[in-house]
Structure 1
Amino acid sequence: MELILLLLLGFVASVLGSVMGLGGGIIVVPALMILSKYTQLLSDITPQIAVGTSLLIMIFTGLSSTLAYIKQKKVDYQSAFIFFAGSGPGALFGVWLNKDIETSTFLVIFGGFIIFVSFVLIIRNYIRPLQSKPTGIIRYYENDMREQIQYGFQPIIAICIAFVVGMCSGLFGIGGGSLMVPAMILLFGFPPHLAVATSMLMIFLSAILSSISHIALGNIDWILALILLPGAWLGGQIGALINQRMSSNAVINMLRIFLIVIGIRLIYQGLTGS
């Protein structure tokens, strides 16, 4: 039963992460921490192992999703590598912050962060680019209606934002797309589908760097990772197809409620130990 549950967890987290450019860790890490109270298989899970294992899984989620988005021609490679110049060092800093954090402190901080992410998702559909005309690096994208959309960003600002996103990724084991995608849309004028696809490439690259650090620190549960991997790979492919074929509003609405409940549960677990 536990095996089936974990396979399903990897699949569902990867689908949701791929659809919205989140990476899946926002689901995997809190699920592992909560399930550690109820299943023998996960009884020894610490924040460091949950985060390290999640980031390892995110390599495969990110790769699976990115390959699917590449086929759809929705990945902006130049922008992704510029963002990675910030998210990569940020991820390493996040791993360092995670190294000695206690379980109760981690649960409370992470629970608060998840609730914050849920509110970001609430406003995500209503945000519009703040700038009337792109500045800095100017990029162009042709949507399905054959309309050419112009967007752009200042590299220094983009790298600083990506550093914060990478730090959250290394600290909490999440992809960071929950913060990066809205920033790309709001500040830089990215078309939403392009922002999600480009975010997944950045998440893939950052996850590699973070995972290497966590492997060096011994923060990987390899058996758990092998159980989660098949669902994560398949979910990444399916999530990219869902993103292409339909609006993700219904999924996002469900995820908002789910994240608020999970966030409150983590804070309660951190404060009471139960």
Structure 2
Amino acid sequence: MEWLVLLLIGLVGGTIGSLVGLGGGIIVVPALLFFSTYTVILNDISPQVAVGTSLLVIVFTGLSSTLMYMKHKKVDYKSGFLFFIGSGPGGVVGAYVNSYLKVDSFSVYFGIFVILTSIILMFREKLKRKEKVNHFPFQRVYTDGEGTTYTYGFRPITAVIISFIVGFSSGLFGIGGGSLMVPAMILLFGFPAHVAVATSMFMIFLSSILSSVTHMTMGNIDWELALFLVPGAWVGGQMGAWLNTRLKSKTVIHLFRMVLIIVGFRLIYEGLAQ
């Protein structure tokens, strides 16, 4: 029964994370903490182990979805590597800060972050691409399958600062960070939505490697849990990327946002009650 639950957690986290560019940890971390607290299926799991294990799983989710997005030529590699300059170090710093959080404070902070993520998703649907990007020093051009050409760009220093914050939140909470990065890419830099999601997953893949290695050195990874989470996350990463290229994700985002609000308030309640 335990392995089936873990496979399902990995599958759901990987699918939703890849579909909307979040990474999937925002599902995996609360799920591990929940089953650790309220069932005998899993042993007692600390926030540090939940985050470290989640980041290792996100490495495979990110790789799986990135490979799928690569087939559809939606990944902007140059932008992704530039974002990684900020998100990589940010993830390492976040991982170290995570080691100082106790269970109650982690639950409160993570709950607040989850609720903020749901609010961001609420407004993300209404975001419009920034059309005037000619003044940006870093320019990119993308032509989709229908022949429509998009021009987008950004200031490298701004991109590095934002991606550092994204990486920090990823290392701290084990969530990937796409909830912050994708809206910034669309609203501030003018990325087409599908390119933003695909490039976000590529950046998350790279930064999660550094973050998970950092957590690994601190003994924050449960390899037995990861062994069962990774297969589901890998399949979910492929499924989410496939759905993203074919379906509008509004319905999924609506449902996902409602779940996040419930989970967020539950985490805050648990943290304050302890």
Give the structure-2-normalised TM-score.
Answer: 0.98
Amino acid at match of 1:138: Q
CA gap of 1:115–1:167, structure 2 versus 1, over 3 A, is: same
Amino acid at match of 2:15: V
Structure 1 segments, 4+ long, off by >4 Å, are: none
CA contact (8 A) 2:59 2:209 kept: yes
Displacement of 1:243 in angstroms is: 0.2
Distance 1:197 1:132 in 2: 22
Q: Mind listing any 5+ residue stretches in structure 2 that lack a counterpart? A: none
Q: 1:36 is paired with a residue of what secondary structure?
A: helix
Residue of structure 2 in register with 1:174 after alignment: 175
2:29 is the alignment partner of 1:29: yes
Distance 1:8 1:31 in 2: 10
Residue of structure 1 in register with 2:240 after alignment: 239
Residue of structure 1 in register with 2:116 after alignment: 116
Distance 2:96 2:5 in 1: 31
Distance 1:100 1:123 in 2: 32
Counterpart mapping for 1:123-202 below 5 A: 123-130=123-130, 132-134=132-134, 135-202=136-203
Give the structure-1-normalised TM-score.
Answer: 0.98
Displacement of 1:133 in angstroms is: 2.7
Displacement of 1:131 in angstroms is: 5.8
CA deviation profile, 1:194-214 (whole Å, cap 9, x unmatched)? 000000010000010001111
How many percent identity over aligned positions? 57
Distance 1:93 1:229 in 2: 25
Distance 1:35 1:79 in 2: 38
Residue of structure 2 in register with 1:95 after alignment: 95
Distance 2:15 2:59 in 1: 14
Residue of structure 1 in register with 2:56 after alignment: 56
CA contact (8 A) 1:181 1:195 kept: yes
Amino acid at match of 2:7: L
Residue of structure 2 in register with 1:217 after alignment: 218
Distance 1:129 1:237 in 2: 26
CA contact (8 A) 2:75 2:202 kept: yes
Residue of structure 2 in register with 1:271 after alignment: 272
Distance 2:125 2:146 in 1: 20
Counterpart mapping for 1:13-92 below 5 A: 13-92=13-92
Residue of structure 2 in register with 1:226 after alignment: 227
Distance 1:241 1:92 in 2: 31
Amino acid at match of 2:85: A
CA contact (8 A) 2:86 2:161 kept: yes
CA contact (8 A) 2:133 2:154 kept: no
Amino acid at match of 1:67: L
Q: 2:141 is paired with a residue of what secondary structure?
A: strand
CA contact (8 A) 1:131 1:187 kept: no
CA contact (8 A) 1:55 1:210 kept: yes
Distance 1:159 1:141 in 2: 21
CA contact (8 A) 2:23 2:176 kept: yes
Q: 2:101 is paired with a residue of what secondary structure?
A: coil
Residue of structure 2 in register with 1:262 after alignment: 263
CA deviation profile, 1:99-155 (whole Å, cap 9, x unmatched)? 121000000000000000000000001012346234120000002220111000000
Give the aligned length: 273
Distance 2:145 2:187 in 1: 21
Amino acid at match of 1:87: S
Q: Mind listing any 5+ residue stretches in structure 1 that lack a counterpart? A: none
Distance 2:268 2:57 in 1: 25
Distance 1:112 1:191 in 2: 29
Aligned alpha-carbon RMSD (Å) = 1.0
